Amino acid sequence: MIRDILGGLFAITFVGLFWVQRNYESDTAASYADPVLIITAALGLLLMARGVLRRVRRGGAPATASEPEGSDPNFRKTLGLLAIVGVWIPGIALVGFPVASFLAFLALTTYLHVGSRSARLLVRDAVVAAAVVLFVYWLFVEILAVGLPLGFLA
C-alpha cells in the first residue's frame, strides 16, 4: 500500500522533471513524447490511487500479508557501499584509476567484513586488492587498449 503510493509519487515526480523541460519545435515531435509523459504520469496516479484506496479499506492498519513479496537491501550497508563508490568515481579523475581503485577496494573489503578485524586480515585484503586492480588495469590497458587515467602516476 505505502509502496504503491510512494511508487506512484515517484513516477509522477520523475515525469514532472521531464515535463518542465518540454521545448518542442513541431507538432510531430510532441505527438509521441507528450502521450508517453502523460500516460506514464496517469499510471503513476492510478498506482497512488490504488494504494490510497487499499489503505482506506484497511482503515489505516499496517500492511501485512497483501504487501508485495520481495527483499530490501540492508539500508545501512547500502548507504555505506554507495558512499564509497560515490567517492571512488571522482577519485579516478583526481588520483588515477590504480590508486583510487586500490583504496576503494580495500575500503570495501574492510567495510563488508563480518567479524573481528586484524592487521593480518588488512594486509591480506590489501594484497588481494592490489592483485585485482593490477589485473584489471593490465587487462584493459594492455589487452583491450582502453586508456584508464593514471593520475599522478603518469
Partner 1 sequence: MLDSLDAALLQLFSPEMLLVVLLATVAGFAIGSMPGLTATMGLALLVPYTFGMDGATGLVALGSLYMGAIYGGAFPAILINTPGTPSSVATAFDGYPMTRAGKAEQAVIGATFASVVGGLIGVAALLFLSPPLADLALSFGPAEYFWIAIFGLTIIASLSSGSLVKGFISGGLGMVIALVGIAPVGGHVRFTFGISDFQGGIAFIPMLIGLFTIPELCKMAGRSRMVTATLPPEEESGGPSVLRKTLGGLLRRPGTAVKSGIIGTVIGIIPGAGGNIASLVSYNEARRSSKTPERFGKGEIDGVVASESANNGVVGGGLVPLLTLGVPGAPPDAIIYGALLVQGLRPGAELFSVQGDLTLTFILSMALAAIAMAPIGIFLGRRLEKFVVNVPVRFLIPGVLIATIVGAYAIRNNLIDVWIMFAAGILGIAMGVLRLPVAPMVLGLILGPIAEKGLSQALLLGPEAHPWTALFTDPLSIGLIVLALLSLVLPWWASRRSSVLVVSDE
Interface mask toward partner 1 for 10-39; x: CB under 8 A: xx--xx--x--xxxxxx-xx-xxx--xx-x
Report if residue 70 touches partner 1, rule: CB under 8 A: yes
**Residue the block writes with cell 579523475:** 93
User: How many Å apart are CA 61 and CA 57, to the nearest integer?
Assistant: 9
Instruction: Give me 12's grid cell.
Output: 509522477
CB 112 within 8 A of CB 59: no
87 forms part of the interface with partner 1 (CB under 8 A): no
All three cell numbers of 114, joined, read 563480518
Shortest approach of partner 1 to residue 153 CB, angstroms? 16
* Closest separation in Å from C-beta 61 to partner 1: 19
What are the distances in angstroms from CA 115 to CA 28, 50, 112?
Answer: 61, 44, 10
114 forms part of the interface with partner 1 (CB under 8 A)? yes
The answer for residues whose C-beta is within 8 angstroms of residue 77's C-beta and 6 or more apart is: 112
Residues making contact with partner 1 (CB under 8 A): 3, 6-8, 10-11, 14-15, 18, 21-26, 28-29, 31-33, 36-37, 39-40, 43-44, 46-47, 50, 68-74, 77-78, 80-82, 85-86, 88-89, 92-93, 97, 101, 104-105, 108-109, 112-115, 125, 128-129, 132-133, 136, 140, 143-148
